[in-house]
Amino acid sequence: MVSPIGYDERLASSDASDQSPLRLVGFGSNHAAFGIAGVAGMSGTLGIDFGTSNSAAGICVDGRPQLIELEAGEQTLPTAVFFDFDSKKMILGARASEALLNGDEGRYMRGLKSLLGTRLIRESRMLLGERLDFIDIIARFLAEVKARAEVATSQTFDRALSGRPVQFHTSDDKRNAQALLDLTEAYTRAGFSEVKFLNEPEAAAMANRDVLAAGDMGLIVDIGGGTSDFTLFRQQGDSGIEIIGSHGVRVGGTDFDRRLSIARVMPQLGMGSDIKHAFGDDTHIAPNAIFNDLATWAKIPFLYGPDTRRAAEDLQKYAVHPTRLARLVKVLEEELGHDLAFAVEAGKIMANTPGVENPVIKVGMLKPKAVLPLPTEMMTKKLSKLADQIGEAAEVTLAQAGVEATAVNKLIFVGGSSLMQVVEDALTTRLPSAEVHRGAALTAIVDGLAIGSAEAF
């Protein structure tokens, strides 16, 4: 990997007011051949991996990917924003998460990519004295990525080669098309005059071509925060790679977080509790809606309104055992939803880190020093269905291309959630003759986008 271009945070500024028109152009298709020719100097197009959990940017310099430090010393930037009520500014990346965990007054948002193609993306709300929808918020994030890249490289980037999931929404053509229009509009509002899109696993294939010998066939397994994507490709030697087929499914790391949260954390807040009727002795189970939304990264900000808080207070009032529902009231009143989500994510990572014994979810925000164990058997039981969905999607990728599993020489894992053992087991079982290779988990896609940016326009 070439050393990343540095970013000086003191010099960066962003202006998302540029509303210049943008032309949508598709880039890449099945059976397309991507050459990797040497490029003199620096590409004038910015490759952007806008991810559910993390984002990155890079350019092509002399035919090689050059990543840009969007935060000092870091090749990736958390896809998170925080509207600071005291400074009246929007901050992003690691600083946004720090502000949340420090208890600063404001509104934190993460998982915005998951809203593309849904009605929520155009819901507007007052933030720091402005009425913004979520396309505005994504646009301002992208505008800051653009500004920081320009500071780091002393170049102006009016064009972008952006990654995209193969499918934003599984088996829903209308929502997939709308999601791409939403993302395109976000790039427009961010100040880009042109953007082209490349399937994220195809970008990862470009970055991992050297893993294969000439004639070999590899399957990219890209497990991101919101989707899992697959690209089947053949190494063609000096002429580049041949994309044989791509497929995707809307299952990703945030779904694993959600499943663990519902299984281990939400019962501590009263999920599944008996609630007495206002009149009589009958009971019913507490409605799941609040708990399901509280376990979903992208929906947490919608729960802090007075209606939801009143609903939680009513559940506590009529609960047969009110102690756990009191915790739900506390989480909503003190806006601890994202703190819990971070704790679940950290527990998941701990449980998939080699050598770590007795992984736990640390929920000290509910009760001092409290932890919830995550034994391997429980993790496997709760997450195996999601992992099987990912494995089945890989089988669909091969079936659509008419390729037998035994023909795949390399199984290449990329994406932050690809490190989960349950995911690896689901894939290696289905492709037993393929050798496993782990690409750069967080940067394989942006590496390929940076390479592709040289010839995108």
Say if residue 31 is in the same domain as residue 174: yes
Give the per-residue pLDDT at 311.
Answer: 96
Structural domain including 319 reads 271-371
Within this chain, do residues 48 and 151 fall inside the same structural domain, yes or no?
A: yes
Q: Does residue 342 lie within any of the structural domains?
A: yes
Is 163 inside a domain boundary?
yes
202 and 73 in a single domain? The answer is yes
Q: Determine the pLDDT at residue 44.
A: 82
Which domain-ending residue is among 318, 347, 371? 371
Examine the domain organization and report whether 72 and 182 are in the same domain. Answer: yes
204 and 275: one domain?
Answer: no
pLDDT tens series, the chain, 457 aa: 444 665 454 334 434 333 333 333 334 333 344 443 433 455 589 999 999 999 999 999 988 999 999 999 999 999 999 999 999 999 999 999 999 989 899 999 999 999 999 999 999 999 999 999 999 999 999 999 999 999 999 999 999 999 999 999 988 899 999 999 999 999 999 999 999 999 999 999 999 999 999 999 999 999 999 999 999 999 998 778 999 999 999 999 999 999 999 999 999 999 999 999 877 778 999 999 999 999 999 999 999 999 999 999 999 999 999 999 999 999 999 999 999 999 999 999 999 888 899 999 999 999 999 999 999 889 889 999 999 999 999 999 999 999 999 999 999 999 988 888 899 999 999 999 999 999 888 899 999 999 999 999 9
Handedness of CA 431, 432, 438, 439 (dihedral sign): negative
**Final residue in a domain of this structure, among 371, 397, 431:** 371
Single-letter amino acid code for the residue at 357? E
Q: Which amino acid is at 112?
A: L
Q: Which of residues 348, 371, 394 is at a domain's end?
A: 371
The pLDDT assigned to 17 comes to 37
Q: How far apart are CA 399 and CA 402, in angstroms?
A: 5
What Rg, from alpha-carbon coordinates, does the chain have? Answer: 23
Q: Are residues 290 and 147 in the same domain?
A: no
Residue 391 maps to a domain: no
* DSSP-assigned beta bridge partners for residue 80: 110
Say if 356 falls within a structural domain. yes
Q: What is the model's pTM?
A: 0.87
**Looking at the domain assignment, is residue 250 inside a domain?**
no
- Angle at 388 (CA atoms; ends 382, 392), nearest 5 degrees: 165
Query: Cβ distance 76 to 82 under 8 Å?
Result: no
60 and 190 share a domain?
yes
Buried b (16+ CB within 10 A) or exposed e, 89-102: ebbbbebbbebbee
In a domain, 213, yes or no: no
> Do 156 and 22 share a structural domain?
yes
pLDDT of residue 4: 62
Query: 165 and 279 share a domain?
Result: no
In a domain, 320, yes or no: yes
Query: Does residue 41 sit in the same domain as residue 181?
Result: yes
Note whether residue 387 is domain-resident.
Answer: no
In angstroms, rounded to a whole number, what is the distance separating the alpha carbons of residues 265 and 344? Answer: 8
Q: Which two tokens stand for residue 372?
A: 């919830």
Clarify whether residues 25 and 123 are in a common domain.
yes
Split into its structural domains, the chain has a count of 2
Find the CATH number of the domain harbouring 129. 3.30.420.40
Length, in residues, of the chain: 457
φ and ψ at residue 408, rounded to 5 degrees: -85, 120
How many beta carbons lie within 10 A of that of residue 381, not counting itself? 12
